Amino acid sequence: MGKRYYSNYDGEDRQKWVRVAIAGKDKDALQALLDSEEGRWFIARLLKNEGLHTSAFTGNSGTFYNEGRRAVAVDIYQNIKTLLGVDGIRKLHQAQEYLMEFEERALEAAREKEADHGRGDHAAGGQR
């Protein structure tokens, strides 16, 4: 009988199987990240730093760089939405809310520290 020759259809089936297998691993990895506090923190910071909810437009070539970073964040967000559904989006929003609250508390603590040192608002202007 000898060598088996694969038709085009077989190759397409193999590629589909590989995509399904990779999507399954992606789903497991995203679920593990969003199930832990540290993972949710990481994902929320990554999406914020990459500009998920910000404009990429700068008016110059920096737009291309920013849009590339934003495209990564959009892809991660879409994977969470597609692979984990409502539960994944809910956990992501929980993480983003926690991040915003954390940033607000940190900013308030910094203001209180400035006030305690008697420097007030003028310290923010660069005077030390």
Residues 22-69 pLDDT 10s: 999 999 999 999 999 999 999 999 999 999 988 888 889 899 999 999
The answer to whether residue 4 sits within a structural domain is no
Count of domains for the chain: 1
How many angstroms separate the CA atoms of 95 and 103, rounded? 12
What are the CA-CA distances from residue 112 to residues 102, 107, 119, 121, 123 (Å)? Answer: 15, 9, 10, 11, 12
Query: Residue 93 above 70 pLDDT?
Result: yes
Mean pLDDT to the nearest integer, 80-94: 97
What are the CA-CA distances from residue 102 to residues 85, 96, 99, 106, 127 (Å)? Answer: 26, 10, 5, 6, 27
Mean pLDDT of the chain: 88
Domain containing 75 equals: 9-125
Query: Residue 128 above 50 pLDDT?
Result: no
The answer to whether residue 1 sits within a structural domain is no
Beta carbons of 47 and 70 less than 8 angstroms apart:
no
Query: Residue 4 above 90 pLDDT?
Result: no
Query: Residue 119 above 90 pLDDT?
Result: no
How many angstroms separate the CA atoms of 65 and 100, rounded? 25
